[in-house]
């Protein structure tokens, strides 16, 4: 006799929940096939539940580390060590740059959509084959501009890329670089590039739009021209000497000529719902939360960035360590506390729903949201019986 798969689904679901995270692509491929079969068989809800497990597993959207041989890259230059002294702004004494050594660069890549991961991976592959390209008279990509909204992982990406190259990072400090004295800013920019060209390093021009802003603020037209020209000239000579990454939150403020100096431009969009869930999952690291709780946290910061996920997951991780066993039963209250303390970090509308503290309203909103929370998930989030949620969803008529 043919049995309904629903009889066994709870066990199947549990099994996948335990085994999918961290599994390799062949396993995931099989699960995807099963999901398709379930859909074809009319088991929409079950297909969705399995799909959720795949979505929250972040492995596929993190960049794969590769070790790139420095000797392949074709740049000379001295080794940058802690003994090297850093140039300063003569007028103020402030450092015009900061050095981050390879050991201090992040091991974890940010989590992006598959398309971005693929594009960035292709640059890394190019770098690891740089010697072959150079032998054939072709130049590997040597400079890229990364742009996008604040908190989307641009700086982390640049630092992670440097780690793959095994190069220390020389970051321009714009506060140290800029000067109100005539000619000093240009001189500082020259010193910055001279330093970066002398040593084996990756030059990072972070929050680079400040130079463009300087153009708008400064009244002295001749001085503005001088600064931009110095920058352009230095970027041209930099090409033969090493890698450069520019980062900006305001690409429109950049001078088109500066923009054109970069071999490639990567736009980092705000994370999609799917990617945001993966970011939350990856930030939790070894701290295990139920998939329903991960999904709820993502819903809470819906429309937000990785930086929001960072703050939220730090707080959840601390709570889990501090309160231990009662974490699940306290989860919802913890989330409410977080909202109180981080009003600017959460999705305003969703936070308002949570703060109403009304199970009926919450159940309705969660199940009708884009995230389509199931009754089981809502019961886990609120730490109440599944039957309670079922009753809220479909109240029995008193007279029947």
Ligand X SMILES: Nc1ncnc2c1ncn2[C@@H]1O[C@H](COP(=O)(O)OP(=O)(O)O)[C@@H](O)[C@H]1O
**Residues in the site for Mg ion, rule: CB under 5 A?**
155
Whole-number CA gyration radius for the chain: 26
Q: Minimum distance between the CB of residue 155 and Mg ion, rounded to whole angstroms?
A: 3
DSSP category for residue 219: -
H/E run at residue 248: strand 243-248
Distance in Å, CB of 68 to ligand X, minimum: 21
Residues 6+ apart with CB under 8 A from 325: none
CB 111, min distance to ligand X, A: 4
- Binds 306, which of ligand X, Mg ion, none (CB < 5 to 8 A, cut-off by type)? ligand X
* The entry of ligand X, Mg ion, none that residue 153 binds, CB within 5 to 8 Å by partner kind: ligand X
**What is 119-155 written as a DSSP string?**
HHHHHHHHHHTHHHHHHTT-PPP-EEEEEESTTSSHH
Helix, strand, or coil (residue 62): strand
Count of beta carbons in the 10 Å neighbourhood of residue 69? 12
Shortest distance, position 270 Cβ to ligand X, whole Å: 9
Residue 307 contacts which entry, ligand X, Mg ion, none (Cβ below 5-8 A, type-dependent): ligand X
In this complex, which beta carbon is closest to ligand X, that of residue 37 or of residue 114?
114
Q: Nearest 5°: phi and psi at 344?
A: -80, -10
Q: Which is nearer to Mg ion, 209 or 377 (CB)?
A: 209
Please report, as ranges, the residues that interact with ligand X according to CB under 6 A: 110-112, 150-156, 271, 279, 305-307, 310
Residue closest to Mg ion, measured at CB: 155
Q: Which is nearer to Mg ion, 204 or 289 (CB)?
A: 204
**Alpha carbon distances (Å) from 383 to 151, 317, 329, 333:** 32, 18, 5, 10
- Which residue's CB is nearer to ligand X, number 117 or number 362? 117
CB of 244 to Mg ion, least distance (A): 16
Q: Which is nearer to ligand X, 151 or 291 (CB)?
A: 151
Distance CA(115)–CA(122), nearest Å, equals: 11
3 state DSSP class of 179? coil
Smaller CB distance to Mg ion: residue 155 or 171? 155
- Given Mg ion, ligand X, none, residue 375, with its beta carbon under 5 to 8 Å by kind, binds none
Q: Which does 112 bind (CB under 5 to 8 A by kind): ligand X, Mg ion, none?
A: ligand X
């Amino acid at each position: 006799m043919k049995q309904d798969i629903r009889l066994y689904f709870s066990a199947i679901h549990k099994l996948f929940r335990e085994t999918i995270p961290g599994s390799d692509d062949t396993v995931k491929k099989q699960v995807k096939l099963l999901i398709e079969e379930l859909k074809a068989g009319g088991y929409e809800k079950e297909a969705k539940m399995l799909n959720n497990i795949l979505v929250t597993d972040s492995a596929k959207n993190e960049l794969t580390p590769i070790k790139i041989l420095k000797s392949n890259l074709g740049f000379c230059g001295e080794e940058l060590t802690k003994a090297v002294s850093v140039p300063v702004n003569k007028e103020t004494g402030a450092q015009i740059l900061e050095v981050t050594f390879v050991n201090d660069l992040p091991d974890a890549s940010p989590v992006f959509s598959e398309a971005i991961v693929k594009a960035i991976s292709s640059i890394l592959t190019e770098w690891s084959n740089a010697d072959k390209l150079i032998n054939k008279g072709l130049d590997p990509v040597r400079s890229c501009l990364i742009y996008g909204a604040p908190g989307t992982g641009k700086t982390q990406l640049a630092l992670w890329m440097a780690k793959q190259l095994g190069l220390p990072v020389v970051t321009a400090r714009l506060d140290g670089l800029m000067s109100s004295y005539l000619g000093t800013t240009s001189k500082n920019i020259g010193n910055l590039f001279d330093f970066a060209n002398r040593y084996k390093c990756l030059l990072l021009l972070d929050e680079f739009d400040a130079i463009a802003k300087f153009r708008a603020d400064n009244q002295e037209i001749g001085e503005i021209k001088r600064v931009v020209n110095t920058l352009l000239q230095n970027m041209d000579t930099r090409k033969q000497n090493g890698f450069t990454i520019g980062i900006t939150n305001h690409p429109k403020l950049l001078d088109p000529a500066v923009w054109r100096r970069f071999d490639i431009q990567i736009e980092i969009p705000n994370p999609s719902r799917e990617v945001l869930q993966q970011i939350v999952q990856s930030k939790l690291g070894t701290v295990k939360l139920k998939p329903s709780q991960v999904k709820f946290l993502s819903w809470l910061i819906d429309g937000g960035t990785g930086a929001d996920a960072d703050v939220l997951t730090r707080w959840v991780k601390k709570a889990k360590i501090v309160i231990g066993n009662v974490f699940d039963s306290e989860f919802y209250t913890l989330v409410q506390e977080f909202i109180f303390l981080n009003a600017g970090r959460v999705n305003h509308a969703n936070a308002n729903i949570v703060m109403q503290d009304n199970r009926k309203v919450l159940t309705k909103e969660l199940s009708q949201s884009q995230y389509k929370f199931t009754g089981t998930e809502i019961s886990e989030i609120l730490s109440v019986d599944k039957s309670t949620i079922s009753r809220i969803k479909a109240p029995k008529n008193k007279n029947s």
